[in-house]
Structure 1
Amino acid sequence: MPQLIEHIDAIARKVGRDVLYLTFLDDPAGVRVQERWDENPSRKEVVAWLDANGYEWRQCGEMASDKWMVEGYRGSIYIATPFDRNNGAYIKLEQYLEHPGGALRLPKMRFWVLQLSLAMRNAHHDEPGYWERRAESF
């Protein structure tokens, strides 16, 4: 059975806190490149590191929108570690993903924190039948 891939904002609402996620396939200017997500070397390296270091993660969709629909999964990853600069697991993750000063260590990857307050703007997406009604308009 295929895995249900949730939008990152739905995950934030479900867990009730700010959430961490990674996107891939961006060049340094933030423009999407034409590459398959499952062939992205940075994503492969990150997944191997997360698994080797015992981090809980899963595939996720990016922030949902009422104005457009994404055509498919693009390789994004939700990391279940809380965003807490005093949490050892978060500190280790941040040190792996970023250089001191915040520059990312790996190309074609972005490290995000989605605030719960922003995710709550899409709470209406959780209403029964919302996505079915949206699909009918496309």
Structure 2
Amino acid sequence: MPQVLEHIDAIARRMKRDVLYLDFVKAKRPHYADYRRLDSRVRITQWLDNEHISWCECGPFASETVMRSYAGEIYVDVPFDEADAQYRKVQAFLEHADGTMRFDDVKFYIVALERAMQNAHHDEPGFWDRWAENF
């Protein structure tokens, strides 16, 4: 049975906090590179595993008007808290001291719970089934 990916905003609502999200530019239009072969993604996931930092594949922010293919997006299971040592470690690996990314094809986002709550109606039982019937 295929794995169902959870949207990043649904993860934020489930966790009841802001969440960390990685997006891989070269796996999306117009590039469509195979995310499994992206050097940046391989290096990042290996580093997360080596550091014993939990992560999982996830879908992008859910939309009722757009369907997207999975493009390697990742949820990093570390709270967004600048006082948290694990967050600082992730941030230092992904970003230079000036805040620019170390990987030019990766975007590092904080998905705010407040923004994720705008899609709370997606959590109602049967929402996506009803949506698919009318797509």
2:134 aligned with 1:117, yes or no? no
Alignment equivalent of 2:84, drawn from 76, 87, 92: 87
Q: Provide the residue aligned with 2:44 in structure 1.
A: 46
Amino acid at match of 1:88: A
SS of the counterpart of 1:13? helix
Q: Provide the residue aligned with 1:17 in structure 2.
A: 17
SS of the counterpart of 1:111? strand
Offset, 1:137: 1.9
Alignment equivalent of 2:73, drawn from 49, 72, 76: 76
Offset, 1:4: 2.1
Whole-angstrom distance in 2 between the partners of 1:25 and 1:36:
11
Q: TM-score scaled to structure 2, two decimals?
A: 0.94
Aligned-CA RMSD value: 1.7
Q: Provide the residue aligned with 1:58 in structure 2.
A: 56
2:3 aligned with 1:6, yes or no? no
Question: Could you list the per-position Cα deviations for residues 88-131 of structure 1 after superposition, in whole angstroms to 9, with x for gaps in the alignment?
Answer: 00001100000011000012110000000000000000011111
Alignment equivalent of 1:107, drawn from 104, 116, 125: 104
Task: Name the count of aligned residue pairs.
Answer: 135
Structure 2 unmatched ranges of 5 or more:
none
Q: Provide the residue aligned with 1:128 in structure 2.
A: 125
Give me the identity figure in percent: 44
Query: Which stretch of structure 1 is more off in the superposition, 36-45 or 117-126?
Result: 36-45
2:12 aligned with 1:35, yes or no? no
Contact 1:25 1:40 survives alignment (8 Å)? no
Amino acid at match of 1:2: P
Offset, 1:39: 1.4
